[in-house]
Amino acid sequence: MTWRDTYDAERWARERMARLHAEADQERELRAAATRSAPTARLRTRRRALEPLTALWLRLRGTFVSLARRTAP
């Protein structure tokens, strides 16, 4: 085995390790992005479900406030 063979083998190993680390980093980022977006989607769905109730509550509150102002001495 010559120094050239050793050099080539070491370079191949370095490149392979760099590639494996890059793939692992990419996989970790994708997994993190997936876990970040799931709670956001859940909150968005919950907020969308509560919008009619919120509108109703604001309308009722406005009605009561206006009634209170009219009947105030």
DSSP per-residue letters across 23-35: HHHHHHHHHHHHH
Q: What is the pTM of this model?
A: 0.45
Helices (H), ranges, the chain: 3-71
Task: Taking residues 55-72, report their average pLDDT.
Answer: 83
pLDDT-based confidence at residue 51 (cuts at 50, 70, 90): confident
Parent domain of 9: 1-73
Q: Can you tell me the distance from the alpha carbon of 11 to that of 55, in angstroms, rounded to the nearest whole number?
A: 65
Tell me the pLDDT of the chain averaged across its residues: 83
Tally of structural domains, the chain = 1
> CB count, 10 Å around CB of 29?
10
Span 6-32, pLDDT tens digits: 888 999 999 999 999 999 999 998 888
